[in-house]
């Protein structure tokens, strides 16, 4: 069931993230309320995410030395997602739907073909000391296996 009111704490969190398409419908979306995904601001945000995702996934490893690949990927990842901690590496292909809704903690490893589809904020490895993922290592370094899809079923569209 969709929420009936906005969540100010979530909206405030979004204001500090990279690439957020802040508008009325976005606030409804991240609060879990009914929203229209087809307004220009949200269409533009998904379009932006597709372009940045392609840049990330298509980094030419034949022209970038192996010892620089992590830095190059991190540079592109920081442009793509809401926030990412140091030491994180995502093997391409990586497919988020908005990108700006992802907060990824430090020292997180995501293996190839990951898909993150959520209209609300996702925080893999964002708080390493409280990480509840069954796949986290004893030092709270978050790791995802290949082909992982994180899809939130409680996204509500109207329109």
pLDDT single digits (tens) 34-62: 999 999 999 999 999 999 999 999 999 99
Model confidence at 139: pLDDT above 50:
no
- Residue 47 confidence (pLDDT): 97
Q: Is the peptide bond before 50 cis (omega within 30 degrees of 0)?
A: no
The whole-number pLDDT of residue 159 equals 47
Tell whether the model's pLDDT for residue 133 goes beyond 50.
no
pLDDT tens-digit profile of 53-98? 999 999 999 999 999 999 999 999 999 999 999 988 899 999 988 9
> What pLDDT, on a 0 to 100 scale, did the predictor assign at position 110?
86
Give the Cα separation of 36 and 42 in Å (integer): 9
Per-residue pLDDT of 116-126, as tens digits, reads: 776 665 555 54
How much is the pLDDT for 120? 61
**Span 8-110 CATH architecture:** 3 Solenoid (2.160)
| Average pLDDT taken over every residue of the chain | 81
Q: 52 in the Ramachandran plot: left (φ > 0), alpha (ψ -120 to 50) or beta? A: alpha
């Amino acid at each position: 069931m969709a929420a009936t009111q906005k969540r100010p704490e979530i909206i405030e969190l979004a204001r500090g993230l990279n690439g957020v398409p802040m508008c009325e419908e976005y606030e409804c979306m991240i609060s879990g309320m009914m929203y229209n995904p087809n307004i220009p601001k949200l269409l533009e945000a998904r379009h932006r995410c597709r372009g940045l995702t392609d840049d990330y996934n298509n980094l030419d490893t034949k022209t970038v030395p192996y010892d620089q690949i992590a830095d190059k990927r991190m540079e592109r990842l920081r442009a793509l997602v809401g926030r990412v901690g140091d030491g994180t590496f995502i093997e391409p292909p990586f497919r988020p739907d908005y990108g700006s809704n992802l907060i990824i903690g430090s020292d997180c490893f995501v293996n190839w073909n990951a898909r993150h589809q959520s209209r609300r904020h996702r925080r893999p490895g964002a708080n390493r000391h409280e990480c509840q993922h069954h796949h986290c290592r004893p030092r709270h370094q978050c790791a995802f296996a290949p082909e992982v899809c994180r899809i939130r079923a409680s996204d509500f569209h109207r329109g």
